[in-house]
Amino acid sequence: MCAFLSPQCADNLKQVARSLFLLGKHKAAIEVYNEAAKLNQKDWEICHNLGVCYIYLKQFDKAQDQLHNALHLNRHDLTYIMLGKIFLLKGDLDKAIEIYKKAVEFSPENTELLTTLGLLYLQLGIYQKAFEHLGNTLTYDPTNYKAILAAGSMMQTHGDFDVALTKYKVVACAVIESPPLWNNIGMCFFGKKKYVAAISCLKRANYLAPLDWKILYNLGLVHLTMQQYASAFHFLSAAINFQPKMGELYMLLAVALTNLEDSENAKRAYEEAVRLDKCNPLVNLNYAVLLYNQGEKRDALAQYQEMEKKVNLLKYSSSLEFDPEMVEVAQKLGAALQVGEALVWTKPVKDPKSKHQTASTSKAAGFQQPLGSNQALGQAMSSAATCRKLSSGAGGTSQLTKPPSLPLEPEPTVEAQPTEASAQTREK
């Protein structure tokens, strides 16, 4: 009514556009905002709100232009947040970090900006900067559960499970029904070899987020460790339905199938794992053990040589330390295949816990050793954490006080998309 009585009032048109936005009529809202912009070209809110509407329509280039215009007219934290989320939705973490760094320079006490920037650094593995920004968040807000959860995951990744659990207790007081929280608690217990407690926590996480493939992955991993292969198959199959392009899932599924004495389907799973995963030597090593146990020495040798190539690449490109159990299984398999001087590892590695059978005499030993290695465990525990934490960090609604005509930020389902595309740690 006000817009009809006073059609030349930009504020009235902004309220009409906001109502259309809240009704989900984003195209209509854009039209009204454009009319308002003709009446007031210096209003940063109009440009900001146009950018948000374009985000919902997935027209990211137009959204960027409008948000940059809003920043040119008047700098606000919320505009920086929305601009950063555009780059997250596009999967451009470097550009997102640049935006959030500028935002932190403008507003150094904004805990949402600090937390999101810390989570992005954590996802990229830049732990020092991640810890610095998360620490600043806790300085301004000691009860910020996102920052505490992220700090706990960093400690968990480095094997300090008791301290991580202490951090998670603080988070549980604020958000008891958090899937990432229970996932991380479960994997802490897994790291402490308390498998029953780990399964209990992971199943609670799965109840809260039944479609989260990372939780299903971890459940499959824990059940494999407990030699509950049918349950492991169940959870790993479910994880593959949600994440069909991840080779490591197929490798673990093949391990479960091998122990369920379904060697044909295990081979198919390994073939898919080899096709999808071009970096992990564990895939080729486990596949080579299966082929050797089936009497297919020529194919086993081919997989072993492929494993050696990956190991050499990893040696030259990173300072990664290989797990002793993986090294020992590779040595035994190499000796059984009569590789001789071509062995990648020449020094024997002693296992203080037990004596292992060679790959040629024990099918189970060949698979269980690399599967239970710290390397596989570390990958599982560090990849889900960062991703999920980013989604909770980048996807939270703003705590800033907004003008009455300012529309809401995109819903969490929209904001969580970039984290799904970049998920790399199965911890949360």
Quick check: is 7 in a domain?
no
Q: How far apart are CA 407 and CA 417, in angstroms?
A: 20
| String of DSSP letters for 309-323 | HHHHHHHHH--PPPP
Residue 326 lies in a domain: yes
The residue range of the domain holding 318 is: 201-398
Alpha helices in 74-160 (DSSP H): 77-89, 93-106, 111-123, 127-140, 145-157
The CA-atom distances, in angstroms, between 131 and each of 6, 134, 149 are: 53, 5, 12
388: in domain: yes
Alpha helices (runs of H) in 243-373, residue ranges in sequence order = 247-259, 263-276, 281-293, 297-317, 324-336, 363-371
pLDDT in tens, 260-315: 999 999 999 999 999 998 888 889 999 999 999 888 888 989 988 888 888 888 87
Count the domains in the chain: 1
Mean of per-residue pLDDT scores for the chain: 78
Q: How far apart are CA 12 and CA 34, in angstroms?
A: 13
CA–CA separation, 197 and 219 (whole Å):
12
Give a yes or no: residue 286 inside a domain. Answer: yes
**Cα angle, residue 14 at apex, residues 11 and 17 outer, rounded to 5°:** 155
Nearest to 50 by CA among 23, 21, 75: 21
DSSP-derived secondary structure letter, 262: -
CA distance 102 to 306: 45
Is 87 part of a structural domain of the chain? no
- Residue 236 inside a domain? The answer is yes
Q: Which of 275, 213, 214, 262 is nearest to 241 (CA)?
A: 213
Quote the DSSP letter at residue 373: S
Instruction: Find the CATH number of the domain harbouring 235.
Output: 1.25.40.10
Does a structural domain hold residue 366? yes
**pLDDT for position 6:** 58
Tokens of 48: 């900001």
Helix 374-394 vs helix 111-123: angle between axes, to the nearest 10 degrees?
A: 150
Which pLDDT score, from 0 to 100, does residue 219 have?
96
Q: Which residues of 82-108 are buried (b: 16+ CB within 10 A; e: fewer)?
A: bbbbbbbbbeebebbbebbbbbbeebe
pLDDT of the residue at 336: 86
The parts of the chain modelled with pLDDT lower than 50 are 1, 5, 341-342, 346-425
